[in-house]
Structure 1
Amino acid sequence: MGEMNLKMLLESQSLERCPFPIPTGWFFVDFSDQLKTGEIRNVEMLGQEWVLFRSESGQVGMTDPYCPHLGAHLGHGGKVVGENIRCPFHHWEYNTEGWCKAIPYGKVAPPIIKKQAILRTLPAVEKYGMIWVWFHPKCEAPSWQLPHIPEMEDEGYTGDRRGSWPVHTAIQEVAENGVDFAHLKFLHGAAGIPPAVVNFKDHVIEIDMAGGYIVGKGYGPGLNVFHFTQEGVSATMISYTQPITLERSQMNMSFRHKDYGAGTREAAIAKKLVDHMIGAADGEESAGFESVDFIVWNNKKYRPNPLLCDGDGPILQYRKWFKQFYADGDLSKI
């Protein structure tokens, strides 16, 4: 017997659940119709609390909570005034880009307010009937834009089914399932390990599983669009997970398909495809993520040096691709 590899045997003592920073990218905040004109709301995500508001003209702002003046919390007593959010303490006002637009007293303002935004805000857009923000730990501008999703933006599609589930792990761990094809057989009970082709290009990952049965794209860490096709009928799962804290995420999904018409064979197949995505469809033995994946996600630890075999998917390539979204923090453990 050769020399024992104690490092391998004892590695679990030093493993962490989530050694990842908050990643850079576009992230879902809420549905547009949930934020009314003039409303202010405190939101926890992206590793901290934020203040979300909608101006009188309908523009969305998402800001750091604490006023640059003397640190009052804008989400407790603050007010929307025109296009700005007003601090309750001394009524300093800030627009959706974080520029100070009004100080109702004093004749000499700090010179910096003429040169730059002084309240951190996140670039915000409304798309797919949702509010999205761009997060970068060093406040850099967006390096790509959200894609066009016909199922969410064009006529001729239907489906109001959606779900939201808390998960006690980091967003990278959740998304890694997308390239872990072996677990579909052993955790979900699928008939076999599906063949798959994966391509990584810039901020996009492309997956074709089982010869076109599941075809999807991921756009950075915060948006995935998967098309499931059976008997010529397709249904779409749009996934938009939010990083809440370093060790907590919120999975969100919407399910859409072409408006095949009530009572048609195609509509029945589309419904079964959606059922399959979210849980166990009638007549199927495989389990949906809701019933099995959370058991693993909520209790696992991250192994930065996994022992992989030839049946595993491109997990290391995926991790290398995902690392581009970490612009800050200690990356030596991932």
Structure 2
Amino acid sequence: MISVERFPMDIPYGWFFVAYSDELQAGDVKTVQYFGEELVLFRTLSGKAGLLEAYCAHLGAHLGHGGKVDQDGIRCPFHAWAYNTEGWATDVPYAKKMPPILSRRPCMKAYPIVEKNNVVWAWYHPEKAEPFFDVIEHEEIGQIADEQWEELDRYHWTILSNPQEIAENGVDIAHFRYVHGMDDVPEGKTSYDGHLRRSIAEGQRTLPMPDGEMKTFPTRVETVQNGAGQKYTRITGITDTLLMVLATPVTKDKCELRFAFTHRKFDKESMEYNIARMAIALVIGQTGVEGDIPIWNHKIHRKNPILCDGDGPIMQFREYFEQFYVPAEQRAAAE
């Protein structure tokens, strides 16, 4: 059997989903696999989330198997060394004299963490560069507690692909007809500003009503890509819907994809509520991501594809996304 490298690109850098905030309670310790390694995710008793490499800097015990949160850090199950969320060793309970290195630098690799939009975001960079842009906050999610917007409706898939291939789907105009059965997909207007990519498309959508009648409504679809790991879409029309697209690399050719929706609150018997639910079903079903998954799982990345005028701005998108990779020669020089 001939081996083919499916994806020449490495893991991109940026802010990535590692958990929903409400699924990580104070005192929780979880083992997760992201960015090509095993990690331990925990929340301190004061409520701060931390993400560290999984293996203790002392003698290599796995913090995710028996490690416990202790106040503002996590203790190793082997010798009870304590680490804070920044990777510093804060206590060795049996040591009369702490090793000097422990006062000079963190001895565990720690990932910068922020929490916004009910998501725990981790900053990944292969050279451990500090974050140089922020996660964008969504006011709609902040209004869930006020009962103006619905609780997040969450979906999760594990896909043999990577964030670039998944995001590229949005600019691959031709596939919407042949994979999803959509005849009219407006390209809209796109702008690029450093790590941000924005697109706005306005048009009309025809949907069946509860009585079977087909009605056409004006729609506006605004999509923002904020680095490699945060993408969201706002759909406005007869209903307002927000979709967070959360693609986190497990390895260079495997990622977890999550869709999280919210929409304005309506009476569950109302036309507006039923249209919002219908729109979500279209996005996650065969007319949406479920139609793409079999192709993502088996396709390869053609670095120099043969394109035609109906394919959409694929190469422009790739040029934008290229900034989220550190060139191999640069990485080698830094090691």
**Into which bin does the TM-score normalised by the smaller protein fall?**
0.7 to 0.9
Moved more, 155-164 or 64-73: 155-164
Alpha-carbon distance, 1:249 to partner? 1.0
Shift in Å, 1:18: 1.8
In the TM superposition, residue 94 of structure 1 has moved relative to its aligned partner by 0.8
1:159/1:51 Cα in 2 relative to 1: closer, same or farther (>3 Å)?
closer
* Residue of structure 2 in register with 1:289 after alignment: 289
Q: Residue 180 of structure 2 aligns to a residue in which SS? A: coil
- 1:138-217 equivalent positions in 2, closer than 5 A: 138-154=127-143, 155=146, 156-211=148-203, 213-217=220-224
Residue 229 (str. 1) matches residue 236 (str. 2): yes
Query: Shift of residue 223 of structure 1?
Result: 1.6
Residues in 1 aligned to 2:56 and 2:151: alpha-carbon distance in whole angstroms: 42
Work out which of the residue numbers 253, 256, 261 in structure 2 matches 1:250: 256
Aligned AA (2:149): Y
Kindly provide the CA deviation profile for residues 60-108 of structure 1, in whole angstroms up to 9, marking residues without a partner as x: 1110011112222222222221111112222221100111111223344
Letter in 1 for 2:28: E
- The superposition leaves residues 207-254 of structure 1 with CA deviations (integer Å, 9 ceiling, x where unpaired) of 123446322111111121112234x43222111111111111111011
Q: Match for residue 216 of structure 2?
A: none
Task: Tell me how far apart the structure 2 counterparts of residues 68 and 245 of structure 1 sit (CA, whole Å).
Answer: 23
2:58 equivalent in structure 1: 69
Which amino acid counterpart does residue 295 of structure 2 have in structure 1? Answer: V
Find the counterpart in structure 2 of residue 46 from structure 1: 35
Partner secondary structure for residue 275 of structure 1: helix
Cα distance between partner residues in 2 of 1:14 and 1:168? 16
The code of the aligned residue for 2:83 comes to: Y
Query: Are residue 279 (structure 1) and residue 280 (structure 2) matched?
Result: no
Match of 2:103 among 103, 114, 125: 114
User: Is the 1:20–1:170 Cα contact (8 Å) retained in structure 2?
Assistant: no
Amino acid of the structure 1 residue aligned with 2:73: N
Partner of 2:326: 327
Shift of 1:261: 3.2
The match for 1:21 among 10, 16, 26 is 10
Matches within 5 A, 1:293-308: 293-308=292-307
2: distance between equivalents of 1:264 and 1:244?
A: 41
Q: Structure 1 residues 330, 182: CA separation in 2 closer, same or farther (over 3 Å shift)? A: farther
1:284 corresponds in structure 2 to none
Instruction: Give the distance between the partners of 1:165 and 1:84, measured in 2 at CA.
Output: 31
| TM-score relative to the length of structure 2 | 0.86
Task: Give the 3-state SS of the residue equivalent to 1:317 in structure 2.
Answer: helix
Q: Distance in 2 between matches of 1:73 and 1:307?
A: 48
Q: Residues of 2 paired with 1:15 and 1:77: CA distance?
A: 40
Identity of aligned residues (%): 39
Distance in 1 (CA, whole Å) between partners of 2:187 and 2:84 is 51
**TM-score with structure 1 setting the length:** 0.87
Q: Which moved more, 1:17-26 or 1:266-275?
A: 266-275
Take 2:224 and 2:108, find their aligned partners in 1: how far apart are those partners? Answer: 34
1:83 pairs with 64, 72, 76, which one?
72
**Per-residue deviation, residues 112-131 of structure 1 (Å, max 9, x unmatched):** 22222111111112222222
Task: Structure 2: state its 5+ residue gaps.
Answer: 204-218, 331-335
Q: 1:308 to 1:245 in 2, by over 3 A?
A: same
State the shift of 1:266 in Å: 2.5
Corresponding residue to 2:271 among 262, 265, 271:
265
- Identify the match of residue 34 of structure 1 among 15, 23, 30: 23
Q: Which amino acid aligns with 1:208?
A: I
| 1:193 shift after superposition | 4.3
Per the TM alignment, residue 268 of structure 1 is displaced from its structure 2 partner at its CA by 2.8
Aligned partner letter, 1:289: V
| Cα distance in 2, alignment partners of residues 14 and 324 from structure 1 | 28
After superposition, the CA RMSD in angstroms is: 2.0
